[in-house]
Amino acid sequence: MRVAMIGTGYVGLVSGACFADFGHEVTCIDKDASKIERLERGEMPIFEPGLDDLVAANVRDGRLTFALDGSEAIRNADAVFIGVGTPSRRGDGHADLSYVYAAAEEIAGLIEGFTVIVTKSTVPVGTGDEIERIVRERRPDAEFAVVSNPEFLREGAAIGDFKRPDRVVIGINNMDDGVGARARTVMTEMYRPLNLNESPLLFVGRRTSELIKYAANAFLAMKITFINEMADLCEAVGADVQQVARGIGLDNRIGSKFLHAGPGYGGSCFPKDTLALVRTATDAGSPVRLVETTVEVNDARKKAMVERVRAAVDGDLAGKTVGVLGLTFKPNTDDMRDSPALDLVPALIAAGARVQAFDPEGMHEAGKLLSGVDFRDGPYDALDGADVAVIVTEWDQFRALDLDRVRTALTAPVLVDLRNVYRPEEMRARGFRYSSIGRG
């Protein structure tokens, strides 16, 4: 099938490359000329394991192309996907849909023949209705269907998630006859390679599909926040949060995923999606109080992490040097959006500390967002002469540090582990003053 993917950010580029790998003819479109130029040179604008090779293979085989002007691709497409950003709108927390609606306007003026317009971006309930209105108003003669197909890709594992999903949610109105049935046929063909055994495709109404995405992310965010609060309670009563997490996670009604205590969730999805869901629910007169509390608790938790570092250096950060390991919100990505480091590092500097930091992939993006930081070339360089080490992101290379070398680099053997990478008893045996999350 012929596919036009509007947007070459995380969602658009990964989805476009994977659809091409399924055998479809895909054109990824973006208004950013420098981004298109980089992609045509084979340079990825984001870090995602395996993406560069996947893109290169499909470009080489002629299934994947990039365009600044997507007019021809949209006119010829069987399906046009909208994969643009929907950041939180300043001031009220609603999702900013300006890019989505601009894409709808562009699509409306170009489609020829029956076309399925698919929202891959995360959008609030009712956005598909507005896209349909925009297109219909401009092109009352057009044959089209608007479909919701939210993404559930984890940064760092996105290609595997796309190709081996636990579900593919597809929202279509009136899917049993007429336009809806035609749209269902197109979407089934788009994901045909996934249907070899048991189909993961879940067809629902369009508004239901839009809400599923927000509900899923909000539930996972609540799960993270729950275990973080249990971690605080463990510290107060002398329990071990990792054993608590294992004890409850073995219950298959709960499950073990997203039960890792830490400095709070961040990234491109959970912060903005929980906030957008709160705003949608409030506007609908049906507030989601658990999600509201989750947002408040998580924001407070990220800001409170500086106190753990302060306590590790006897209550005074002024004049101290802090070696920070990890800046991105999670490993295997260069994404800095809502990373705990964005709260922790400025708070350390405001308290009078000097910060020297290293991240395997996030240094370029961090440099745009953090000022006053001495960025270093490696983990031991970041710890050289520091009074305390702080693990913020659990990159693999931070899980296997040479602890003797760490001790030598630091002025004192003090380590604050915000991801519980190491065992307290091992660290004490190695002579470290060690602080972690929820383990007393």
- Active-site residues, by number, are 269
CA distances from 356 to 208, 361, 384 (A): 47, 16, 9
Q: Per the structure block, which two tokens stand in for 406?
A: 């760490």
Distance CA 116, CA 183 (A): 6
Distance CA 368, CA 52 (A): 23
DSSP of 135-187:
HHHH-TT--EEEEE----PPTTSHHHHHHS-S-EEEE-TTTTSHHHHHHHHHH
| Residue bearing tokens 């890019």 | 99
126: phi then psi, degrees, rounded to nearest 5:
100, -5
Tell me the sheet residues that pair with 358: 325
CA distances from 304 to 331, 378, 438 (A): 22, 27, 14
Q: Per the structure block, which two tokens stand in for 144?
A: 């089209």
From first CA to last CA, the distance across the chain in angstroms is 57
